[in-house]
Structure 1
Amino acid sequence: MTNTLSTIVEAIQAGQVLQAEQQCRMALAEVPDDENLLVLLATCLQQQQRLPEAMAILADLARLHPLNSVHWLNYGVVLASVGDLGEAEKAYLKAIHLDPRNPISRVRQGLLLLERRDYLAARNALLDAVALDKSSVWARIQAARACCACQDLGGADEMLKPWRSWLPLNNDALQLDLAQVLVLKGDVPEATELLEDFAVRQPGHLEAKVLLATAYERSNRLADAQTLAESVVNTADVTDVQRNEVDHLLATLMLRRKDPKGARDILERCGPQGDDDYAHFFALGTVCDKTGDAEAAMQAFKVAHRLEAVERHFDSPEFFTPDAPALHVAAPRVSAEQYHRWPQLIAPDTKDSPIFVVGFPRSGTTLLEQMLDAHPGLQSMDENPFFNTLSDVLRRHDPRILEDLSVLRQYDCDELRKLYHTMVGERIERRPDTRLVDKNPLNMQWLGMIHRLFPAAKYILAVRHPCDVILSCYMQSFRASSLAAACGSLERLAHAYVETMQNWLAEVEYFKPAVMVSRYEDLVANFPQQVARIASFLELDDASAMLSFDQHARNKAFIGTPSYSQVIEPVNRKGLGRWQNYRRHFEPVLPILEPMLQHWGYATEVAS
């Protein structure tokens, strides 16, 4: 019997499934109740997608051998494959109960919970699986996927930290999974590398080609994206879902070629993938805006935000309750009284401190970052929530620290700065003799913690007409659920903007950091003059490289912000006063914005 089992296993591994099935049935004719033979027969049937037949065999095995966790696990896998998630979960839980040390059952349970969009429970199950087997690449990749679904990008980073040491994976399905998760967490260049390697071995794999084409577009490799997308569309066995994904990509590429009408035609023809496809309506709203159809654009964005709110409820319901703040703030608040109690500590001087580029999202921070990064003496990076992470470190140590940062002593601040620079080094390879540019718009909420660690740092605050800022935010689908919730309506966005800006202004009043206000309208009106002004503020010598920032940006492998397609173009005036096309929708929110319109000196009358 041992030789028979070995022969069948070898046949299955060689892809000779029909032959293996025949051998199983011949052997079962002599020993009809043999467990191992029945498991192998079920495996053969599964690989042939004859799932009801496989399920019947596995159900019998679980019934006849109820203490065997493997039978319950195998039964659950087939139940999940046919869409019976409720019974599949029961089978997985039975397997876990019988063998709590088996990580595979927990991975399967986590994947099922992901499919049901119970993201937090999926994350917990998959992290438990990794704890049982830290070397399991499969478990770590799926745990990272669940972390991304829960907005826990730090957790995803931790799960995937050793991924390069796993190569070569020698498992195409696993490599594709890894590439998908890297895209989810924003590591598009790394995902592209894996997908290009995958394409060499599997040139006809359509799912991988679609993902690679999308990665090319995000990396501004437009010709490569177009060629690959067209090759998928012209493939005979392309599925409806894949065709729809490619149509959306082709619409994006057409929009980037300045043909919004053609892009709109594609999107209206292909439609959304399903009832929950909010990304389709964001794309449709964008092309309607570009064609000058403001009412159609607003209708599309309204649908997009309604659908997105339903999806985001699964990972962050607390941001969508009726009493939720306009914009959730995780940063500790520092009062003037607390600040005056801070002890004087040794800290880096200005040249050894990062340059912080802040501002409400869509105010022009990415443009400023790309300008600064073009200077040979400066080095920037994509947005990272470093101060959220530092705050989490303090919270785990003692949450009371965040209530009063005056308790931080020299050693504490030194260690926090050290951790900050360690995290920076994990994101970019630091060049010697350069000053770091940390661009994260909502770091303006973290002024207190930043000032505690880098009191001599300089800040550039990006300011743009509040109505243009709010309109641009409303047209985006932000990855962070807190920001996505704030963008649910123009009214909520207006409150979020005013509250964020008022808090910044109040803290600036007593921290008195070195801040330069960069007004977007002035930047585009006289770019050379404003570049010179920024260079003077930062004490830079030759600022000429900043004038050709768009060429520098085009040479980058990846720009990880929503404006990645805009900052590779020279400065232009296209975004100025766009809100006037939507004035009817803005009339109710102008009174909310009035304090900031007055403070920054912006008019609301119709431009002549």
Structure 2
Amino acid sequence: MNTTSRSRAQRHQIWLEQIDTVLRAQGMARAAPLALQALADGVEHPTLLNLAASVRFGEGRFDEAAALLRRARALAPRDPHILNSLGICLNTLGQPEAALQAFDAALGLDPAMAVAHFNRGTALEGISQINEARASHERAAALDHSYIDPLARLAWLDVEAGDAASARAHGERALALSPSSHVAQMALAFADVQQRQLAAAEQRLSKLDQDPGITSVNRSIVLGLIADLRDAEDRRAEAFAAYQASNAQLKAVYEPQYAAPATETALGRVRRLASWFEAADPEPWKEAPIARPRASDPKVHVFLVGFPRSGTTLLDNVLAAHPDVVSLEEKDCLEPALATFLNSNEGTERLAHIGSGDALRQRDSYWSKVRSFGIEPRGRVFIDKLPLASVYLPVIAKLFPNARILFARRDPRDVVLSCFRRRFGMNPSMYQLLTLEGAAEFYDAVMQLSELYRRILPLPQHVVRYESLVGDFEGTTRAACDFLGLEWDEAMRDFAAKARARGISTPSAAQVARGLNREGQGTWRRYREQMAPVLPLLEPWVEHFGYATS
């Protein structure tokens, strides 16, 4: 070793020893900035890269943090802590599947790593695999009895599913360990509202609302719960104002991601597709490449579409209770095809003339994705439930010309109000629902596009009205079964019990778990004054779909 190399090695060793001393004595917050200085001085060490990544992550520079962690992983491929940190970064970047691979790799090296189980559960929540997420959180809590976060998340999952008793058990265990857990407090407040313990809810929510340390996303949830409380108290004007404040919090958080100047919004894409199809030659859409039957195919392939809060979750769970039906709930298995064919006019033109080889590759990709969620459609009636797949119908028509479309419909005024009031996992489409006007504009645009598709695309469609399903359950369900080639089965009457076991991931979970009820019908009338600005936009659809205009 020459003098220069020896000097560099000594300098690097000094850095490592200094950072180790600071890390032990003063913690990560003081050691991490030193790690950045060491990296700038040419020190390449996995621990330093991990520390530096924590700095970049805290600054919101998630791509840079992930890049640092990939460098650390290359140097220490069997370090589960680096893999866990990488998974957190990837999940924050909106790459949950890559994040899950990182968490699984960490757990392969250290199966008892409670924090990796918890983070895995969080990623699974993000892709609506609720039962699997719950199992990961339960494993984390079992491995570390003092670990607050998985208990708090379990409380939240419980209350979202309408199980207030279990939510209280998990939430109180979490608060016994740490009274400051915001998620546990929110879960208990939500349970209070569900059980109409309104004074207790008021006390919890007032305390949370005044907490300066709560994150923006959690503050949005708290404001939404305050809105639900005011609604339960029939203080409608205050409730509506709280819903607006809740959504404004989220809008500020997600605006840079979903409404940047160069970004095509979900509303923009729907309007662009409508313009394209208005001007397009309808002839190429009358036929599709032949989809030859294969042994692995479902007996019947169904897409359940419509608009969020239109009754798709209720209908899906009713049909999924049939022994011949298997259902996949809100997993976007068509995403690769959508990116190829619907993200540009040029892509849609290619879709119009897609060849059999390309169509086959896209179908294989779709079925591979379906099966990756543990679903086996072979020989069953397979229902792919994704409300806004109503925007994707040209892709479905070309790739799956034998598919059948169930279109869920509900009073447009109830739909738009419910979309504005309820909490969704955020994506470009859900971002459109954060204002009442935005929700109404998006609904109007999607319905216009759906009607245009109905005229152009040769897909068999059957409309199921939410109000009819609730009011005439057997008659409406039998009609849907006839359309799907299913015999009526008494098991469908007990759909609520099966729904609770499935682990519903949508805002309708608690309502569906209670079985049939009319609580969502005509809710818009209570907020008629607040909805006045959007009623003229919705009125044509109210009339077109045959709802009473008063």
Q: Same fold (TM over 0.5)?
A: yes
Deviation, 1:118, is: 3.7
In structure 1, stretches of 5+ residues that fail to align are: 1-32, 52-76, 82-87
Task: Confirm whether residue 495 of structure 1 aligns to residue 426 of structure 2.
Answer: no
| Change over 3 Å in CA distance of 1:315–1:156 after alignment to 2 | farther
Q: Separation in 2 of the partners of 1:220 and 1:188? A: 14
Contact 1:553 1:567 in 2 (8 A): yes
The residue correspondences of 1:54-453 to structure 2 (distance < 5 A) are 77-79=28-30, 88=33, 92=36, 95=39, 98=42, 105-122=48-65, 126=69, 137-156=80-99, 159=102, 162-163=104-105, 166=108, 168-218=110-160, 222-235=164-177, 238-240=178-180, 242=181, 244-260=182-198, 262-271=200-209, 273=211, 274=214, 276=216, 277-318=219-260, 326=267, 328-329=269-270, 335=277, 337-341=280-284, 344-347=288-291, 352-392=299-339, 400-430=346-376, 432-453=378-399
Contact 1:379 1:435 in 2 (8 A): yes
Contact 1:285 1:301 in 2 (8 A): yes
Q: Separation in 1 of the partners of 2:68 and 2:11? A: 33
The residue correspondences of 1:562-577 to structure 2 (distance < 5 A) are 562-577=507-522
**Partner SS state of residue 517, structure 2:** coil
After alignment, is 370-379 or 268-277 more displaced? 268-277
Q: Separation in 2 of the partners of 1:129 and 1:164? A: 14
- 1:601 equivalent among 543, 546, 549: 546
Deviation, 1:184, is: 4.0
Contact 2:96 2:126 in 1 (8 A): no
Q: Separation in 1 of the partners of 2:311 and 2:495? A: 14
Q: Separation in 1 of the partners of 2:266 and 2:164? A: 40
After alignment, is 450-459 or 216-225 more displaced? 216-225
After alignment, is 249-258 or 560-569 more displaced? 249-258
Q: Separation in 2 of the partners of 1:180 and 1:434? A: 31
In structure 2, stretches of 5+ residues that fail to align are: 1-9
Contact 2:153 2:183 in 1 (8 A): no
Contact 2:83 2:106 in 1 (8 A): no
1:2-61 Cα offsets, whole Å, 9 max, x none, are xxxxxxxxxxxxxxxxxxxxxxxxxxxxxxx9986885576355335x35xxxxxxxxxx
**Partner SS state of residue 602, structure 1:** coil
Deviation, 1:205, is: 2.6
| Change over 3 Å in CA distance of 1:281–1:123 after alignment to 2 | farther
1:57-87 Cα offsets, whole Å, 9 max, x none, are xxxxxxxxxxxxxxxxxxxx54476xxxxxx
**Partner SS state of residue 313, structure 1:** helix
| Change over 3 Å in CA distance of 1:367–1:319 after alignment to 2 | farther
Deviation, 1:374, is: 0.4
| Change over 3 Å in CA distance of 1:176–1:133 after alignment to 2 | same
The residue correspondences of 1:477-496 to structure 2 (distance < 5 A) are 477-496=423-442
Q: Separation in 2 of the partners of 1:316 and 1:389? A: 19
Q: Separation in 2 of the partners of 1:326 and 1:34? A: 56
Could you tell me which residue of structure 1 aligns to residue 483 of structure 2? 537
Q: Separation in 2 of the partners of 1:287 and 1:394? A: 44
1:377-430 Cα offsets, whole Å, 9 max, x none, are 11112211122233336699x994444313421111111111111101111231
Q: Separation in 1 of the partners of 2:488 and 2:292? A: 24
**Partner SS state of residue 534, structure 2:** helix
Contact 1:319 1:481 in 2 (8 A): no
| Change over 3 Å in CA distance of 1:156–1:347 after alignment to 2 | same
**Partner SS state of residue 354, structure 1:** strand
Alignment identity in percent?
A: 23
Task: Confirm whether residue 584 of structure 1 aligns to residue 529 of structure 2.
Answer: yes
Contact 1:372 1:546 in 2 (8 A): yes
After superposition, the CA RMSD in angstroms is: 3.5
Deviation, 1:91, is: 5.0
**Partner SS state of residue 509, structure 2:** coil
Q: Separation in 2 of the partners of 1:498 and 1:357? A: 19
Q: Separation in 1 of the partners of 2:271 and 2:539? A: 26
| Change over 3 Å in CA distance of 1:45–1:121 after alignment to 2 | closer
RCO comparison, higher one (Cα < 8 Å, 6+): 2
Q: Which amino acid aligns with 1:345?
A: P
After alignment, is 146-155 or 432-441 more displaced? 146-155
Q: Normalized against structure 2, the TM-score is what?
A: 0.85
- The count of corresponding residues between Structure 1 and Structure 2 is 531
Deviation, 1:292, is: 1.6
Q: Separation in 1 of the partners of 2:438 and 2:413? A: 13
Contact 2:424 2:506 in 1 (8 A): no
Could you tell me which residue of structure 1 aligns to residue 7 of structure 2? none
**Looking at CA atoms only, which structure, 1 or 2, has the larger radius of gyration?**
1
